[in-house]
């Protein structure tokens, strides 16, 4: 892993043609004032509004600007993953392209990584300019994420984050997992995670790209992250344990029924007429199924190493 810059900025975007020139100028100003060597990686997630033309134009003006364009819209997680793969800075900073994240926060986040030895520094938009329909679900998700992952951040979903380059090279972001990158980092062994209060700007151009599907996808992704972090490499420990307990319970009922029929109520009702019989059968069958699910998951996990494939249409100065 060759380090070429102090900072790599990975900026996923979708239909942000109005904000890109202003964001670029703002970033350049901050980078120049602090004398950083840097690259700006714009990842165009299948925009249809001319955003890629703007990126090409910015590249002609500034050699630090690089670009990746997806053939279609894959989502923010896919854009971040491709940006992470291409990043060559000692510190990788992610931010949104809608001007709601301030580049002025980057120097302090960079210092926290380099001097305080944090693996990851997450922004916290303590004062938000979003409607209540977005802030209330966000607070609920953040509370649930803290409880499940054990990472005590106030704002998991803040787009403004800084990472040691080793962190982004060690994780894979897919689906909608961008909300829970701190959890992915923790489960990859990077446990020194910090937080910084950052300024939240009101949206200047365009409209939000997040729809109602985040209310469903968010909790499901959180459960996936928690499960994969704890049992991703050892699914048999989860499914096998549940299966074993259920089988023992079912076998216990069956054993009790057998003893009762043979030695206690020899002339009583048939075993098949008793509720305990069906509980025993169901528990043993489900126990075997859980055990087999864990066994199959172990086989798949050990034989599968294929990563997600995202079709890139164009690139600018990206190796």
For 217-247, write each residue's pLDDT tens digit: 667 777 777 777 777 777 888 888 899 999 9
Relative to beta strand 193-197, strand 161-164 is unpaired
User: Taking the alpha carbons of 132, 134, 137, 141 in that order, is the dihedral positive or negative?
Assistant: negative
DSSP bridge pairs for 197: 124
Q: Are strands 89-94 and 38-44 parallel, antiparallel or unpaired?
A: unpaired
Whether the CB-CB separation of 76 and 157 falls below 8 Å is answered with no
Ordered alpha helix ranges (H), the chain: 20-33, 51-61, 76-86, 106-114, 132-149, 165-168, 181-187, 214-231, 235-259, 275-303
pLDDT bin (cut points 50, 70, 90) of residue 134 is low
pLDDT at 150: 85
Would you tell me how many other CB atoms lie within 10 Å of the CB of residue 136?
11
Q: How far apart are CA 58 and CA 209, in angstroms?
A: 24
Domains of the chain, residue spans: 5-231, 235-303
pLDDT tens profile 284-316: 999 999 989 888 887 776 665 555 667 787 788
Say yes or no: domain 5-231 is CATH 3.40.640.10: no
Query: For residue 303, what are the CA distances in angstroms to 53, 79, 81, 169, 266?
Result: 42, 27, 23, 22, 53
CA distance 84 to 86: 5
Q: How far is CA 38 from CA 19, 60, 122, in A?
A: 20, 16, 20
pLDDT per position as a tens digit, 43-95: 999 999 899 999 999 999 999 999 999 999 999 999 999 999 999 999 999 99
The region of weakest confidence among 2-16, 156-170, 261-275 is 261-275
Q: Write down the H helix ranges in 87-150.
A: 106-114, 132-149
């Amino acid at each position: 892993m060759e380090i070429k810059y102090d900072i790599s900025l990975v900026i996923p975007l979708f239909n942000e043609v109005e904000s890109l020139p202003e964001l670029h100028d703002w970033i350049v100003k901050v980078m120049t004032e602090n004398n950083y060597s840097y690259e700006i990686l714009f990842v165009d997630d299948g925009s249809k509004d001319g955003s890629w033309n703007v990126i090409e134009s910015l590249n002609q003006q500034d050699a630090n600007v690089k670009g990746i364009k997806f053939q279609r819209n894959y989502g923010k997680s896919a854009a971040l993953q491709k940006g992470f793969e291409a990043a060559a800075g000692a510190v990788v900073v992610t931010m949104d392209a809608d001007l709601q994240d301030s580049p002025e926060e980057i120097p302090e986040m960079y210092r926290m990584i380099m001097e305080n030895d944090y693996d990851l520094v997450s922004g916290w938009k303590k004062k938000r300019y979003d409607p209540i329909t977005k802030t209330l679900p966000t607070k609920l998700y953040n509370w649930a994420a803290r409880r499940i992952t054990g990472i005590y951040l106030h704002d998991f979903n803040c787009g403004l984050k800084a990472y040691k380059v080793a962190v982004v090279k060690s994780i894979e972001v897919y689906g909608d997992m961008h909300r829970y990158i701190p959890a992915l980092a923790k489960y990859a062994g990077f446990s020194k995670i910090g937080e910084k209060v950052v300024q939240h700007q009101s949206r200047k151009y365009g409209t939000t790209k997040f729809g109602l599907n985040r209310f469903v996808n968010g909790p499901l992704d959180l459960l996936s992250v928690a499960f994969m972090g704890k049992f991703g490499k050892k699914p048999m420990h989860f499914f096998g344990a549940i299966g074993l307990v259920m089988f023992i319970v079912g076998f216990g009922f069956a054993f009790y029924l057998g003893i009762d029929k043979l030695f206690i109520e020899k002339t009583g009702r048939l075993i098949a007429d008793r509720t305990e019989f069906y509980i025993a059968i169901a528990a043993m069958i489900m126990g075997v199924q859980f055990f087999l699910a864990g066994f199959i998951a172990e086989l798949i996990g050990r034989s599968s190493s294929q990563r997600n494939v995202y079709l890139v249409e164009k690139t600018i100065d990206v190796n």
